Chains A and B, each alone.
Chain A
Amino acid sequence: MKNSPAFVIGAGAILFAALAFVPFYVDGYGLALAIGIASYTILATAWALFSGPTRYISLATVAFFGVGAYTVAVLGEVLPWPLVMLVAAINGMLLALVVGLSTLRLAGIYFVIFTFGLTELIKQLVTWYEVKITRTVGRYVFLDIDQQTIYWQLLALAAILFLVGYLIGRSRLGFALRIIGGDETVARHVGIDTTHAKVALFVLSALFMTLTGAIMAPRWTYIDPAIAFNPQVSFQAVIMALLGGVQRLWGPVLGVIPMTLLFEYLNANFPNYFILILGIVFMLIVYLLPQGVAGAVSSLRAWSRRDGKSVEEAR
């Protein structure tokens, strides 16, 4: 009953509908925090959607994010908003398709390095184009999209992402990916088209990252390659997802929320020692929560169940 798809999707829909009322109850800062949490929830969940089951660590999150942001910077004042989003989606998916087809045959570590390089490559390409062709580095995004609308767009995107993620988890594709993550050779031997499965998921994950960038761009008014393709975004998404746990769809959220609050707390109270303390916190997380919060919750549950049993046995 509790795990029936109708129940899960219904509960999710109610939760997201409730979250849509957040802007009416918080002030500007609360909304800014909610936007931060929502955007990283999408980035980290979309990252885990692909990297969780396949175990390919991608550092290209911001490459797609930046492509989305730049699409808005270039077309934002020219095309109507839904069309801009559509173009951003197409750009992101095309890029992911090319990258996926050419790299997903690479084994683990090479893939990590490639995706990291990809961000830099795209950043340099955009810079080159702006310097040589348009002769302006730095674009202005003068769009009248207020913070509430940004939040609602992010929330809607997150709802779609969770729905898609849930459905994939129950589909043949999701099953195939878990086998690939377990052992790719075995997967190939049982007749799974591993490349197609991986590329399909990579493109899907990139689509959500691209749209997040597109939605966030009007928030900054000004975009240049360094702002749009800031590698910190990729690292933060990975760290948050790992803290939360990548084996479950809802895992990354458990990393995003405490991490965002922690960043805020540290920055507010120790602005001069932020990086130092952050480094220590990261080490503690990796040391204490190797399976992420979701993993810790599961093992805690298993532990209490076993504990209960042993009490009964003692009787």
Chain B
Amino acid sequence: MKNLSKLRLSYALCAASLALIAASPALSQESVRIGYVVSKTGANAGGATTSTIPNYELWVHEINEAGGIQVGDQKLKIEVVEYDDRSSSEEAVRAVERLATQDKVDFILTPWGTGNNLAVGPIFDKYGYPQIAGTSVTDRAPDLAKRWPNSYWLLGTGGSYAEGFVDLLVKLREEGKIGDEVAMASIADGFGIELSTAGRTALQENGFKLVYDQTYPLGTQDLAPIVNEVKALNPDVFIAFSYPPDTLGLTDQARVLGFNPKIFYTGVATAFPLYKDRFKDAANGVVSLGGIDPNDEKVKAYIAKHKEVTGKEPDRWASFMTYAGLQALQQSIEQSGTLDKEKVSEVLRTGTFDTVLGNISFDNENRQVPNIFTVGQWQDGEFVGLVPTDKEGSGELVFPKPEWPAAQ
């Protein structure tokens, strides 16, 4: 018995090594092979299963349902090769190498998050794959675009979000609606620190007074002390550059403790459908990153299709960038009429694409989409984009934030 099991184990190991050697590349081009590595498990799984994976599935489903991508004179269906990076940079790097050299896929979709996209950057660059990152917020985007000329950073820089919001505050102060006092809490992790640093600079430059400026560690459970302390200071504006669990926690606590500043801003996950589902009417008036134009037909169609195919609504921020990136990739393949990576990249760099974000182009130094909504607000069940105010379809701020409705 014992030997039999040992034998089985050794069979499994043999099979493992054989399978590694024999990973077979497609011989003739009957389909487009698309590979991706995302965090299906681990710390990043929450973000990846909200913004990244559903959009990849939706895109593949839509294309295959329509008979495939038009490449030259043939229609090619998509064949997917997917791996889990288990939220580890090293795994992501190795899996992308695998997609490029073993699976020999035609194109690789990007992983979730800033860290993993930066980790795989050199590999995308080495093998000439365009890297269209829809979930990376990084202030070094201009450097990265220079270093990896085929990389695109759709989610923008941390600075643009913080500055967009401060611009909004400056306007409110000019109208005499708010005073100088601002309270800011941020999570002690990459995103929170990058945004709060940019926010602090912008606030101080514009003469705002930070009456509260604290960070809290990753995984903080009890957020009541923060809310209590800020409530006692009674600022007109409360900003939290928070992560999903604390975004929900801070909103909960503010509601329970009756803290209702004129502007209430929370971070990642505010634009997620789960926020609306959880807080319903209480979400009204909450401000955050992202936003959409709810009257845009393309936006409406995208939300409806997303819900139909994946069973849930997309978030109103990174989902849109991710999907727009996929649309841009598809259109550059169709416009160039080939699967040749270099030719497709050429179109991607210079072309204009009709996407859910509108007509976009990456033909700029930073390889970013110049005009995306950086500030949005929940208004009657929709997360409406407010800033930049001159962007088509931008909404008006509901001010001041309505009272929290009584808890059900």
Which residues does A use to contact B, with CB under 8 Å?
Answer: 27-33, 36, 124, 127-128, 130-131, 135-138, 140, 142, 216, 219-222, 224, 226-227, 230, 232, 258, 261-262, 264-265, 267-269, 271-272, 274-275, 284, 288, 296
Q: Describe B's contact surface by its main secondary structure.
A: helix
- Chain B nearest CB from A34 CB (Å) reads 11
Could you say which of B69-77, B89-97, B314-322, B356-364 contacts chain A?
B89-97
Contacts of B13 in A (CB 8 A): 258, 261-262
Q: Are B86 and A274 in contact (CB under 8 A)?
A: yes
Chain A residue nearest to B94 (CB atoms) is A32
> Which residues of the partner chain B approach A137 to less than 8 Å between Cβ atoms?
188-190, 192-194
Residue from B43, B98, B118 within 8 A of A32 (CB atoms):
B98
* Any A CB within 8 A of the CB of B140: yes
When the two chains form their complex, are residues A222 and B114 in contact, meaning their CB atoms are under 8 A apart?
A: yes
Closest residue of chain A to B120 (Cβ to Cβ) is: A221
List the count of A-B residue pairs having beta carbons below 8 Å apart: 133
State whether B193 touches A28 (Cβ < 8 A). Answer: no
Are A29's CB and B98's CB within 8 A? yes
Cα A261 to Cα B19 with chains together (Å): 10
Known A130-B193, A272-B40; judge A265-B19 contact (CB<8 A): yes
Interface-facing stretch out of B2-10, B254-262, B293-301, B337-345? B2-10
A269 near B102 (CB under 8 angstroms)? no
Choice from A219, A274, A284 contacting B90 with Cβ under 8 Å: A219
CB distance from A76 to the nearest CB of B (A): 14
Residues of B within 8 A of A32 (CB): 93-94, 97-98
Chain A neighbourhood of B11, CB < 8 A: none
Complex: chain A residue closest to B8, CB-CB: A284
B118 to A221, Cβ gap below 8 A?
Answer: yes
18 examples of A-B residue contacts, CB within 8 angstroms: A36-B90, A136-B197, A137-B190, A142-B147, A219-B90, A219-B119, A220-B90, A220-B93, A222-B118, A226-B218, A230-B88, A258-B13, A262-B12, A265-B15, A265-B16, A271-B83, A274-B86, A284-B5
In chain A, what residue has the closest Cβ to B100? Answer: A28
Task: Identify B2's interface contact among A124, A267, A288, CB under 8 A.
Answer: A288
Evaluate contact between A28 and B95: CB separation under 8 angstroms: no
A274 vs B38: C-alpha distance when bound (angstroms): 13
Q: Which of B182-236 contact A (CB under 8 A)?
A: 188-190, 192-194, 197, 215, 217-218
Chain B 130-173 interface residues, beta-carbon cutoff 8 Å to A? 140, 143, 147
Contact A138 B86 (CB under 8 A): no
B40 contacts A28, C-beta separation under 8 Å? no
Stretch binding the partner chain, chosen from B121-129, B376-384, B387-395: B121-129
CA distance A3 to B83 in the complex (A): 45
Q: Are B115 and A272 in contact (CB under 8 A)?
A: no
